[in-house]
Amino acid sequence: MTDWEGLVERTEGGPVSRGSMFGSPGLRTGKKFFAVWWRDLLVLKLPPDRLQDLVTAGTARPFEPMEGRAMNGWVVVGPSADRPPLVDQARALVESLQQ
């Protein structure tokens, strides 16, 4: 089982469903994505302050689907990060934006 499969099993259900973003598997709540497994990397949509904390700590880096073009609000989370709580934070952010 990959890290992604474990995160999906833990998170999927209720308003959370699978989908495809950038041709990669993703998780969404409603119609908005909060997590993507892109090129074997976990990519999350996080609040700006949390995103900056992770980048500063060296456990994440800005997500650039095309080199040199960071996608606002999205971060690639490294394997040393505590991923399940970060996925929960990403989900909570996206759910709050839909209200």
Residue partners of 19: CB distance under 8 A and separation at least 6: 25, 26, 27, 28, 33
Domain carrying residue 83:
3-97
> pLDDT (tens digit, 9 = 90+) per residue, 13-45?
999 999 999 899 999 999 999 999 999 999 999
Closest of 54, 55, 51, 35 to residue 43, by C-alpha = 35
What is the pTM (predicted TM-score) of this model? 0.92
Query: Does the pLDDT of residue 1 top 60, yes or no?
Result: no
User: What is the tally of structural domains in the chain?
Assistant: 1
CATH (domain of 46): 3.30.1460
**pLDDT, averaged across the chain:** 93
Torsion of CA 42, 60, 10, 7, to 10 degrees: 30
pLDDT digits (tens, 9 = 90+) for 38-65: 999 999 999 999 999 999 999 999 999 8
